[in-house]
Amino acid sequence: MPFLSNQIITRSHQPTAVDFISGVVILIDKPHGWTSFDVVNKLRFKLKHGLKVKKIKVGHAGTLDPMATGLLLVCTGKLTKEIDLLQAEIKGYTGTMFLGATTPTYDAESEPDAFFQTDHISINDIEKAVIALTGPLQQIPPIYSAIKIDGKASYNLARRGKEVEMKPRPVEIYKFDILNEDRHSMSFYASCSKGTYIRSLVYDFGVLLNSGAYLNGLRRVSIGEFSVDDALNVDEASSYIETVCGTGSE
């Protein structure tokens, strides 16, 4: 990727000479309960205050749902133009799913709306489902998502009780590994292309098992060559911005 070393801010690399206007990419470990915009808004405020400017571009490369944690790439200044490039990178996730039920949102943000048997599920069934969900797929996104339908976010339509028809989209699952064999709470690792909904992957997994499943926890562990292990938490990133701006760096 076309970034200089002093444009990448990580736990192990925090240069003191930084030009936030020309742009940097900050690796953030997003906390549970925060939206991706919450993180961007917090860092934008710190930058505007520290640089004493009225406006500075800040954006992120790939939304994480509030219940999800993990790697969020936050770009500043002119490097916000590279967000599309970063979003196109392969993303890696670890997560847990609950087998035997579904929810309207495909995750634990809503209450179960249907329950299913799980006793019939065999290891062979699981292996077949994993194979079927690996590779290029036509995936139907959750109706509770930010995808626009006639200019309106589908989740807003769904919340108002409107009938929402989600069209399948091409995605690719490069790796899908089930990490344990618990019939109710399965942990997994998945790497995938831009535009993939892990919630939909889990839902489809339940369907292929003639049962149901919903996402119970999610953590993004990588985006391309970047790892959450080298990411700053929000407070650390805020303190770093304050320190650098205090040195008089642009």
69-88 residue pLDDT tens: 999 999 999 999 999 999 99
Q: Delineate the domains of the chain, giving CATH numbers in brackets.
A: 5-88+227-246 (3.30.70), 91-223 (3.30.2350.10)
pLDDT value of residue 44 = 98
Q: Which residues pair with 138 in a beta bridge?
A: 170
Low-confidence ranges of the chain (pLDDT < 70): 1-2, 144-163, 247-250
230 is catalytic: no
- What is the tens place of the pLDDT at every residue in 130-183? 999 999 999 998 886 666 666 666 656 556 666 677 789 999 999 999 999 787
Q: What's the whole-number average pLDDT of the chain?
A: 92
Q: Look at the block and give the residue holding tokens 């309207």.
A: 104
Rounded-to-integer distance, Cα 153 and Cα 52, Å? 35
Q: Which of 19, 29, 38, 65 is catalytic?
A: 65
